[in-house]
Chains A and B, each alone.
Chain A
Amino acid sequence: DAKTTQPNSMESNEEEPVHLPCNHSTISGTDYIHWYRQLPSQGPEYVIHGLTSNVNNRMASLAIAEDRKSSTLILHRATLRDAAVYYCIRERGNKLVFGAGTILRVKS
């Protein structure tokens, strides 16, 4: 099964870091790990992706376990605008198969 496993929902306080976990125990060596987020009635928005090494960009950091069976998306300082559904996805040949995602709620 190409889908990943994520918690259904998480809650964070504004201005605090958020760690969103993801399990992908059956990932193959050439599958990339992508994270996207989606607001209601909008298309998904790219957050970050990686293969083996940890990755950083202006939006977030991605920590990938050494065995690649899990990863964690890190939002360093959550804002109200970060409230969304976050999808952790295995990508193979540009093909993304979405799982259920994690609903992130951010409290002010």
Chain B
Amino acid sequence: GAVVSQHPSRVICKSGTSVKIECRSLDFQATTMFWYRQFPKQSLMLMATSNEGSKATYEQGVEKDKFLINHASLTLSTLTVTSAHPEDSSFYICSAAQGFGGELFFGEGSRLTVL
């Protein structure tokens, strides 16, 4: 079946640095991908909708300059956490779909720890 893969699965960085997380759809093309973050013992919070070839759409309260999203191809979206701080430490998850009204496929998640 369709698979969405994220890389890296875990990353530790120093405060003030930037971190890039990749989300790939391995066997299908995704014009739209979604980025979520999840804090411990909480639900997933939708951050933004990543649109291939155009600007991402951010949810209310999510800083677009802080969380840069690039969707350069139909199989790859990247999330860059800029000038990371300890409060950005979280589990970041992406999802993608082949069409509308069907199953959405989620990546394995990327755990970011900012020291």
Contacts and interface: CB of A to CB of B under 8 A. Distances in A.
A43 B46 contact: no
Judged by DSSP, the binding face of A is loop
A108 B95 CA distance: 33
A43 B109 contact: yes
Interface of A: 32, 34, 36, 41-46, 49, 51, 87, 91, 93-101
Contacts of B44: 44, 87, 98
Contact of A43 (B45, B49, B107): B107
Interface string B101-112: 111111111010
29 contacts: A34-B104, A41-B91, A41-B109, A41-B111, A42-B108, A42-B109, A43-B93, A43-B106, A43-B108, A43-B109, A44-B44, A44-B95, A44-B106, A46-B104, A46-B105, A49-B102, A87-B43, A91-B101, A94-B32, A94-B97, A95-B34, A95-B46, A96-B34, A96-B104, A97-B46, A98-B36, A98-B44, A98-B45, A99-B43
